[in-house]
Structure 1
Amino acid sequence: MITKELIDESLNIHRLVDCGDFDLAYQQSVVFLEKLEKIKLKGDNYFIVLGNVAGGLVDIGQMSKHTNAAELGFKLMDNNKEALAHVQGESHFYYNYGNALSNKISVDNPHDHTFQSIEELVSLKNIYWRAFRFSSQESEEFQAELSVNLANSLRSQFRLSEALRYYDLTNRKGLDIPQSWVNRSAALIELNLISSSYSIKQLKEIRKGYINASVSKKIPPQWESFYLGRIAQINDKIEKCISADGETDEHDDMLTQQEFDALSAYRKFCLINHLTLSEHGVYCPCVESATDNLVISSSGVTGDFIIPMEMALNRFKSEFSLARHLYFEYLYPQDTDEIKEECHFLELHNDEILGIDIEKIRTAFRICFGILDKIAVCICELYKVYPPAQKGGLQKNIYFQSFWQLDVDNRRQWFEGIKSPGLLALYSIATDLNKNKGGELAFYKEWRNGLEHKFLVVHKSDKAEDLYQSYKLIKDILFIKEDEFIHHFGQLIQITRSAIFSFAFMVRHEGKKQQKENIPSITNELHMKKYSSEPK
């Protein structure tokens, strides 16, 4: 039986963790578990208390690198999955289980990951995605904390645009979650490393994260001095950059807001919703982010593949801009009554949504999958990694989520030889959509096939009514509620954006590698294509 004394003792352990007294908290947790083991009748209250202790041990392991605490916390959760999921709820359990599993990741530095060790991160990411999918009814603070941990997992797999989006969404809520600010700064530092670009504004945003974390009421006292030290270091870097570039504080918050206010409603939508294809726009909504100016050759790169890959990137940007604009037009419809009246539908009382508005999202969904498949083709062409066909030769039809086939022949070893942060990120994204890899978004592929080759019905009600049995004859019709379809398209367009960034970083990495190898090259200066509004 769970007594009041046991509950008070468990609460005291959590207070020790909050105060940063991790060693004592661990010692008392071990003693507490010995008392729990003596309880014979294990009801819901028992597993509630056990789950709290396990979560505390996981926190101790994370915050103080305490291996024994981390291992014990994970073991308790792993051995009691069903019972803990029942008393905590699936979202809370998978959140806690993901935190426990994160302590077991064998490689600390993301740049040391291989195409073998990345599988640990893929499994962790899948667990956080699962928790995220079940979290819609949870409290705002819990959703925010889950978003931060999901973002941390994505950041460790170099999916930086997605990670930064989740940090920003969390920080906008005004909650005191210092981990979100600190890890946002870490993501911006990582962005500098893998993109080979930086700005003074980027340094200021990194500093901003440490400033907000340093004043948090939820950090152990000893962490404040560390954050203040990082702030001082970044201040020195900013001063040196200003001196070297002759730049003033032109990107102060007030000016950035003025520039943002001057943008069109559509561009504001792109920036607010993290839908730009601009490296600067990933962290700053100023006028420099007003265009999708992502290119591969923004810094010195070498290779005869650069211009063909820039051609591919142009194609991705063009298609993405259409998908994004269709999304915007669906969410903020204009007066299109004349167009709508051009097409008349029979009233079949089957709840299906028809017409130009829903077709915009259906089309945008297909466009995003097309972009991902084209990225897969580019990887195969650039690195000559077309997968083998079952009947010999090489596969001709390439699909982003499945072409990798790392366990076939020596392909994992081959991919290890061409590894880069961008390529690892693309593999991570592909596993989201791959059922065989436990991808939590693998059903998107089924939806895409339904849109392309079968019948996919988007309907308004919780369950599609069918008064005249119009759906009776055709088999395998997919039925999706409208708000669910829109929600998941919002997720798909984000991972497509992430894939485009990762593609550019991957090719840029390859171009810089060849530059370091002193391969002879001829300079070819590229310019942005300009569009004039003047009539010809």
Structure 2
Amino acid sequence: MNLTLKEILNLPDLNNFETGQVPNALAILFETGRQSEDVKIIRQGLKFAEDQSLENFSNDEKMVFHYNVANGWSYFQRLTEELNSDQFWRFSHKELDQQIINLRLALSYSHKSQNRIKKCEILTNLGNVFSHLGRFSEAQLYWKKVLSVDSSFPMAFGNIGFGLFHYAKTIYDSGHQFLFFQFAHKYLLKTIDTDIYDEAKSAFQNTINLIESFIEKEELKNIQDLKHFSLGESKGEIQYRKWCLKNHLFLNPLNDITTENIAGHDCLLLPTMTLNFDKTPFYQTIFNQIKQEFVSARHLLFEGLNQKETHYSDKDNLQLDTLDFAVYSYSSEKTKIAFRMCYSILDKIGYLLNDYLDLGFQPEKVSFRSIWIVYDKKSKTSKMNPKISQTQNWPLRGLYWLSRDFFEKDESFSSTIEPEAKELAKIRNFIEHKSFKIIEFGENGLFDKNLTYAINREEFEKKTLNLIKLVRASMIYLAMGINLEERKKEINKPVVPIDFIGLRDEYKR
């Protein structure tokens, strides 16, 4: 279909185009709008995308379609917002919503695609938008996935380095921060001599220059031995810790840059905090509890996934074979417990933030999703909690956007950017209150007149692993977000330092 740009813009929609032509037409519109800085062209392209039927599209065509639509929203955002303005620091953006939704949809259609370059571009852009939002820990995992698809993809190296540099600025452990700068410098150097677009190359080179302005080049190159650290004494403990490292599950920012032994322990704590004399170490107490629940849930999941032999507690537990391939075992219950504990931990994070930021919610009404939104009586609408948005706190913004991956029935909080959020909420509800079964074979969904929710064991284990990764990230954002808030405090009164010692392992019985 040979049409001029003007003729395309005057069309009512693109539904008469061949399926393979639609993504290309959108790409032309969005790139033309970006280069000419014409928002009207981009807006028209987004309208075409909204009205487009994808019924006859192949998965590859859907992948490219959603990737291009995400680009359209990205260009629209760049042309309509001012950097570091109040609008820029708004926690909630329709443009960012749409970028994440479309990139995730593109990724979902890419799994069987042979187009490796497009897969890399999708994952790279997901990492970019996650980093922009403040979900910098998860961004690193997206960029690392790019390298698992194409180990030489230059933009992945550059973005990893660029992301690590900004991640480092939130870290309050000087040793960890130094290692982050070393890795950032190493990854950025891998990109500079490659064929990437000029704007990115300039940004990466400027970051290299900045790092080298406060750390000597020789120091940056001299990265310590990361392997020479113990992972335990028993075979079982070593196996467990290697699994945690591989899945980036240690409460340790270093596990975002390496899976070597140095990251194999849970060292994350809240930063040094300034409290009134009459204030007990309340936040440290809650964080201790959160950490212990996470570590316990993580080990339960490890056992649920890896120890499939019959447990002695399951022996002589007479049950009926109802011919539905259902799994009833101690091992599967461990996975279910881990799933439930994840939600409990998230609500405790909301509970801690409610008090720390003085958000004013009644403690019994706090949940991880509820603290971000308040009801405006004047406009009779729900809006972003100004006590949070006014912080302009990058990790707290990341925590807010992570909360958007979860679903609540209340319409005020039901907007979500995670396509599977409703299913996760349904699973949680059926596990907690209704009939839920894990099956070895068969399809997922509601059965028995919608009384039972059934899910394939492999699928449930995958969802639980992804969920516990979200919880880990949320704990990192919480600690780093509090660190940035503590830096803002002006100390006008005498301060008495109180040093806490680590609780000895032999007391943990």
Structure 1 partner of 2:48: 79
The answer to whether the aligner puts 1:206 opposite 2:184 as a matched pair is yes
Q: Distance in 1 between matches of 2:249 and 2:126?
A: 19
What SS does the aligned partner of 1:406 have? strand
CA-CA distance at 1:506 after TM superposition: 2.4
Q: Distance in 2 between matches of 1:319 and 1:534?
A: 13
What residue identity is the alignment partner of 1:425? G
Structure 1 partner of 2:21: 49
Q: Pairwise mapping of residues 332-351 of structure 1 onto structure 2 (< 5 A)?
A: 332-333=306-307, 335-351=309-325
CA-CA distance at 1:433 after TM superposition: 0.9
- The one of 428, 442, 456 aligned to 2:422: 442
Residues matched between the structures, number: 482
- The one of 323, 343, 357 aligned to 1:383: 357
Q: Distance in 2 between matches of 1:465 and 1:160?
A: 34
Q: Distance in 1 between matches of 2:293 and 2:482?
A: 19
TM-score with structure 2 setting the length: 0.82
Deviations 1:441-489 (A, max 9, x none): 23322211111111122222233799xxxx64x7532222223222222
Q: Distance in 2 between matches of 1:452 and 1:250?
A: 48
Structure 2 partner of 1:505: 480
The answer to whether the aligner puts 1:99 opposite 2:99 as a matched pair is no
Structure 1 partner of 2:389: 416
Structure 1 partner of 2:441: 461
- The one of 346, 365, 368 aligned to 1:397: 365
CA-CA distance at 1:406 after TM superposition: 3.3
The structure with the largest alpha-carbon Rg is 1
CA-CA distance at 1:349 after TM superposition: 0.6
Deviations 1:279-313 (A, max 9, x none): 2222133443121100112xx53124683212211
The answer to whether the aligner puts 1:452 opposite 2:404 as a matched pair is no
CA-CA distance at 1:323 after TM superposition: 1.7
Q: Pairwise mapping of residues 490-529 of structure 1 onto structure 2 (< 5 A)?
A: 490-514=465-489, 516-529=490-503
The answer to whether the aligner puts 1:356 opposite 2:330 as a matched pair is yes
CA-CA distance at 1:123 after TM superposition: 4.2
What residue identity is the alignment partner of 1:95? Y
Distance 1:476 1:132, change over 3 A: farther
Q: Distance in 1 between matches of 2:339 and 2:48?
A: 40
- The one of 181, 192, 216 aligned to 1:239: 216
TM-score with structure 1 setting the length: 0.78
Distance 1:437 1:123, change over 3 A: farther
Q: Distance in 2 between matches of 1:38 and 1:475?
A: 48
Q: Distance in 1 between matches of 2:13 and 2:404?
A: 42
What residue identity is the alignment partner of 2:128? N
Higher-helix-fraction structure: 1
Kept in 2, the 8 Å contact 1:182–1:213? The answer is yes
CA-CA distance at 1:273 after TM superposition: 1.2
- The one of 226, 244, 257 aligned to 1:256: 226
CA-CA distance at 1:36 after TM superposition: 5.3
Distance 1:32 1:234, change over 3 A: farther
Structure 1 partner of 2:380: none
Q: Which stretch of the first structure deviates more once superposed, 132-141 or 360-369?
A: 132-141
Kept in 1, the 8 Å contact 2:133–2:398? The answer is yes
Distance 1:233 1:38, change over 3 A: closer
Q: Which stretch of the first structure deviates more once superposed, 123-132 or 93-102?
A: 123-132
Q: Distance in 2 between matches of 1:61 and 1:412?
A: 34
CA-CA distance at 1:523 after TM superposition: 0.2
Q: Distance in 2 between matches of 1:483 and 1:142?
A: 27
Unaligned runs of 5+ residues in structure 2 are: 378-382, 409-413
Unaligned runs of 5+ residues in structure 1 are: 7-30, 388-393
The answer to whether the aligner puts 1:33 opposite 2:5 as a matched pair is yes
CA-CA distance at 1:120 after TM superposition: 4.1
What residue identity is the alignment partner of 1:216? T
What SS does the aligned partner of 1:210 have? helix
Q: Distance in 2 between matches of 1:414 and 1:534?
A: 38
What residue identity is the alignment partner of 2:320? L
Identity %: 20
Deviations 1:364-397 (A, max 9, x none): 110100000111111222223244xxxxxx4723
Distance 1:518 1:512, change over 3 A: farther
What SS does the aligned partner of 2:437 have? strand
Distance 1:230 1:484, change over 3 A: same
CA-CA distance at 1:137 after TM superposition: 3.1
CA-CA distance at 1:424 after TM superposition: 1.7
Structure 1 partner of 2:405: 432
Structure 2 partner of 1:155: 131
Kept in 1, the 8 Å contact 2:22–2:65? The answer is no
Kept in 2, the 8 Å contact 1:176–1:216? The answer is no
The answer to whether the aligner puts 1:279 opposite 2:253 as a matched pair is yes
Deviations 1:299-357 (A, max 9, x none): x5312468321221111111111221122223322654534425332111122221112
What residue identity is the alignment partner of 1:428? W
CA-CA distance at 1:505 after TM superposition: 1.7
Kept in 1, the 8 Å contact 2:253–2:268? The answer is yes
What SS does the aligned partner of 2:120 have? helix
What residue identity is the alignment partner of 2:471? T
Distance 1:524 1:287, change over 3 A: farther
Q: Which stretch of the first structure deviates more once superposed, 427-436 or 77-86?
A: 77-86
The answer to whether the aligner puts 1:127 opposite 2:102 as a matched pair is yes
Distance 1:453 1:533, change over 3 A: closer
Q: Distance in 2 between matches of 1:35 and 1:99?
A: 22
Distance 1:206 1:110, change over 3 A: farther
Q: Distance in 2 between matches of 1:534 and 1:414?
A: 38
Kept in 2, the 8 Å contact 1:205–1:283? The answer is yes
Kept in 2, the 8 Å contact 1:376–1:399? The answer is yes
What residue identity is the alignment partner of 1:76? G
Structure 1 partner of 2:122: 146
Computed over aligned residues only, the root mean square deviation of the Cα atoms, in angstroms, reads: 3.6
- The one of 336, 343, 357 aligned to 1:369: 343
